[in-house]
Chains A and B, each alone.
Chain A
Amino acid sequence: MNWLRELARRIRMLVNRRQFDVDLEEEMHLHLELRQQDQIESGMSADDAQAAARRRFGNVTSLRERSNLAWGWEWLEHLTQDLRFGLRILSKNLVVTFVIVLTLALGVGANTAIFGLVNGILLQRLPVPAPEQIAALVIQSGESSLGALGFSYLQFVEFREQTATICEVFGSATAWRLNFTAEGHSDTLTIGGVSSNYFSALGVKPALGRLVLPGEGEHPGEPAVVVLSYAFWQKRFGGDPQVIGKPARVGGKTATIVGVMEKEFRGQFSVFEMDAYAPLSTAFDESSASNFWNSRDMHLMLVLARLKPGVTLAQAQSRFDVVSRRLAAQYPLTDKDLKVRVMDERLSRPIPYANNAFIMFSGLFLILGALVLLLACTNIANILMARASVRRREMALRAALGGARSRLLRQMLTETLLTALLGGIAGVTLGASLSYLASSTHLSNIPVRLGFGFDWRVFVYALIVVIFTAISAGLSPALHATRADVNTVLHQGGRADASGKARHKVRGDLMAAQVAGSLTLLIVAGLFVRSLRAVERMDIGFDPNQLLNVTLDPSVDNYTRIQTNEFYRSLETKVRTLPGIQSVSLAASVPMGNTLGNQSVYVEGRPVPSGQRAPGAFFNNVDPPYFDTLRIRIILGRAFTDADSETAPLVAIVNETMARRFWPGEDPLGKRFSLISDAGPFVEIVGVARDGKYRILAEDPQPYFYVPLTQHFTSQRTLQIRSSMLPELLAPLVQHEIKALDASDPVEEIQTMKESLGGTLGYFIFRLGASLAAAMGLLGLLLAIVGVYGVVSYAATQRTQELGVRMALGASPRQILALLLRQGAQLVAAGLLFGLVGAWALTRVMSHMLVGVSPSDPLTYLSVAALLSFITLLACWIPARRATRIDPMVALRYE
């Protein structure tokens, strides 16, 4: 506690310092007087005595300072002096200060916005007790990473039982867009179907009512219940506590609202906000075609685990390895290469699956942010450099009066830091509002929650950024200003600064660096934008315009098959009478939306060797008008017809890739395959459809086939309507027809095909990447223009006299212009060269983020370089041209 007492004493001294100063003054005064008196007594004259007393005493001012030093607070005193002086300087140069603050605000703003995003998505732990115990389980199966996004329910249960000694496994299967009707009003919600132990394992509490209870909802057919999220409860029910116990239709099923989730917990995904939660039995029926409960091929569950205290990830990993091997041996057909990775939950974001590109994505954007900041720094350094030349005289004068260089340096750095802090505050404010804007913008049909990450980490990050800026941008100009040889500077008369070949070089280097950084940013942006264009122009195999999708499931009404078919038939008939309808059809699955599982394909006459698994393909159950409605061309054979009835021979239509892969070099028409076993029953191929995109936009061509709904029944179907009317306007009319037909309103989801494609499996990530990168690129370009313009116009001003002499000696304005432009062009060229190399290096990490364009796409590189050189040369040309317009006589007298 010694240092504490010491600190207390120091503070006391700091507070009483003025008193100490007065005391010291009095003491010294007394000493001098007494000495003088003694001298007089020993016979000196009064004047001599005073002089002698002073001589013996020494330099009072210096002694007083030395005495003050003893208090150990001189740094504070210097700091307040520096700050006071700095503020005065800043307020005297308001324009310069404003430009610096604005530049920095842009740089810091961009950085904090991106860091806030990354922080919110990747760094913050889940808001649950002991979040460090939560691990994510990611399946890495031998199949493609698309094949298995998560666990099948059976796998989940097996892992939960067999690892219970070291952890508690829990999980959820999310329904992204489910129809929710209560009090006569419908919404489309994101609902997490959760395992019975989900909330108990997470340790979250209800704000009201109860959550899903342990043991609840893990058998199909249990009473349906639903828990609302706090935000949805507030928004939809105005926070009414009476909501508990009320009925609501969830995905067409009547459920009871049993509780409201606590406010802090917004779902396990850091990006997507959950609106409600329901037990698995509410989310999945036994009768659903995709059999969630007992198919090992339905990989719908995203699984987490709470490790018991003291259990490390590595220990858990080895336990899961044991169970994985056991399951692989037990189910060689489905789980042959099963491997589960146990990882920090934060590394599995936003959605836990193997080959998560998000971390790289974040890293790339943090680097881009740093580049923007560097551009801002170089601009600031340029401004400070210009100001440093002006202030060399001041500094030289202060040095001549005895100011130590370290003291002068500190003074200048304090000024820079002060400005940087102002810029930092403005930047954080800007970043926060940008984040807020981004988080409230609807980039996708799914409520995406971005930029909630404004916590202490962001502020620490911003502070580091500010200090880094102040030092990197301020040190060199400060060194330059204080390096002044007193004699030279003071003898230069009024001339600002005539030295500085080296300094021109520094400024030139800064300008080249700016061009390089800006080029890198623009190339990355260009690649993202081209990738988005490529994705948007990509042939997805069908025409998504003017299409409305309505997903229904009348099975909740306990319809028989015949009743279900009848319901859909009359619905189709009714909808066809609505205005502007061109085509109406039904399908079990929607591209890039709800998809059915992978189906084994047994080719007739080609038995699968024992111990091996039949090859798989994804499929869809459709009705005859389907290919017309989606405008999928049948390139061989025929589409389905009404003749393909329940009792007619089983038929199928395959896509080009499936035809090529399963029957290479043969005519696929008339070939047969089975969905069940080598022995049949077989379906016959009657047509070949064009390839398209089925599950995610970035996928490679996939084998895919269609079977008639009449021959392969599903209760959940999507009504797809092509009309000349805007699909958004059509939606309420269709909903009205459905209600007229079935008062229980079995609608699960209504959205346009365009909206559906904007989702996470569709364009969302490409749009996010492109808009972020484009914003950064434009910011970089703006900073580079300002920087280049600044450097060239400053250089021109500095050379006013020289240019005046040249003109007086007969140089034409053209020659002057050429002289100034040549220098600018050289720097721009050097910058472009470095920028191309830098961009090439940086974009190596982007290969997984781009579609339809290579990370070294020459067109992007060259066109961006051409654009940037045009713009920067223009930024050189304007000040250079102005320089040629000066009157030589004025220039010669220019100081």
Chain B
Amino acid sequence: MYRDEILPGTLYLLVLKTLARPDKMHGYEIANSMQRTSEDVLQVEEGSLYPALQRMFIKGWVTTKWGTTAGNRRARYYQLTAAGRKQSAVERSQFECVIGAITLVIEAV
């Protein structure tokens, strides 16, 4: 989903973590926020955020609500649900598990 720079399967974790902040965000803000936080390391195919958000919504991890942006445009805002928060922890531990495994392999060489 992200181009080669990012580990597959981590998009959910990134989005969940980004949304974990108290203020709700729309798609463009999420993309920008992720990029900023990663100090521009994580270059994304920005559009792939939307299918991911869609899936997360279907799974019940986020809720959506239409609102108005600062520029007075209609936008869909996303907010984490309780299930989403729980999932965030799950994704995180999975991620750490994978990273740990990779580290082990790298250091063994």
Contacts and interface: CB of A to CB of B under 8 A. Distances in A.
B55 A70 contact: yes
Given A31-B28, A57-B47, A67 B75 contact: no
Interface stretch (A20-28, A310-318, A652-660, A756-764): A20-28
A30 B58 CA distance: 22
B31 interface: yes
Contact of B46 (A24, A58, A71): A58
Given A23-B76, A63-B51, A67-B51, A30 B26 contact: yes
Contact of B74 (A26, A34, A69): A26
A769 to B, nearest CB: 61
Given A13-B58, A23-B76, A56-B46, A31 B27 contact: yes
A671 interface: no
Nearest to B59: A70
Contacts of A34: 28
A533 interface: no
A93 interface: no
B1 to A, nearest CB: 9
Nearest to A24: B50
Contacts of B50: 24, 27-28, 31, 63, 67
A165 to B, nearest CB: 62
B75 A27 contact: yes
A70 B45 contact: no
Interface SS of chain A: helix
A58 B44 CA distance: 9
A56 B47 CA distance: 8
B51 A27 contact: no
Contacts of A57: 45-47
Contacts of B44: 56
Contacts of A71: 54, 58
A60 interface: yes
A59 B58 contact: no
A858 to B, nearest CB: 71
Interface string A55-81: 011111001001101111000000000
Interface string B44-81: 11111011001100100000000001000111100000
A125 interface: no
A31 B51 contact: no
A49 to B, nearest CB: 14
A321 B50 CA distance: 77
A70 B75 contact: no
A31 B25 CA distance: 12
A693 interface: no
Interface in B17-56: 26-28, 31, 44-48, 50-51, 54-55
Contacts of B48: 58, 63, 66
A35 B28 contact: yes
B58 A28 contact: no
Contacts of B75: 27, 30
Interface in A28-62: 28, 30-31, 34-35, 56-60
Contacts of A13: 58
B57 to A, nearest CB: 8
A30 B30 CA distance: 13
Contacts of B58: 9, 13, 70-72
A37 to B, nearest CB: 8
Contacts of B76: 23, 26-27
A27 B27 contact: yes
A71 B54 CA distance: 8
A30 B54 contact: no
A56 B45 contact: yes
B46 A59 contact: no
Contacts of A26: 74, 76
Nearest to A53: B46
Contacts of B73: 30
A67 B31 contact: no
A59 B69 CA distance: 25
Nearest to A63: B47
Interface string A823-849: 000000000000000000000000000
Contacts of B26: 27, 30
A24 B47 contact: no
Contacts of A70: 51, 54-55, 58
B64 to A, nearest CB: 8
A34 B44 CA distance: 16
A790 B47 CA distance: 55
A24 B54 contact: yes
Determine which residue in B44, B45, B46 has the highest number of CB atoms from chain A within 10 A of its CB, and name it.
B46
A881 B103 CA distance: 80
Contacts of B74: 26, 30
B27 A67 contact: no
Contacts of A69: 51
A867 B72 CA distance: 88
Contacts of B46: 31, 35, 56-58
Nearest to A31: B28
Contacts of A31: 27-28, 31, 46-47, 50
Contacts of B69: 30
A544 to B, nearest CB: 80
Determine which residue in B45, B54, B69, B73 has the highest number of CB atoms from chain A within 10 A of its CB, and name it.
B54
A24 B76 CA distance: 9
Interface string B1-16: 0000000000000000
A268 B50 CA distance: 68
A62 to B, nearest CB: 8
A611 to B, nearest CB: 87
A665 B1 CA distance: 103
A70 B53 CA distance: 10
A1 to B, nearest CB: 15
Interface string A454-480: 000000000000000000000000000
Contact of A60 (B28, B31, B47): B47
A58 B55 CA distance: 18
Interface string A7-21: 001000100000000
Interface of A: 9, 13, 23-24, 26-28, 30-31, 34-35, 56-60, 63, 66-67, 69-72
Closest 8 CB pairs of A and B: A58-B47, A58-B45, A67-B51, A66-B51, A63-B47, A57-B47, A70-B55, A70-B54
Given A24-B54, A31-B47, 12 more contacts: A26-B74, A27-B75, A30-B27, A30-B69, A31-B46, A56-B44, A56-B45, A56-B46, A57-B47, A59-B47, A66-B48, A69-B51
14 contacts: A24-B50, A27-B26, A27-B27, A27-B50, A27-B75, A27-B76, A31-B28, A31-B47, A35-B28, A56-B44, A67-B50, A67-B51, A69-B51, A70-B55
Interface of B: 26-28, 31, 44-48, 50-51, 54-55, 58, 69, 73-76
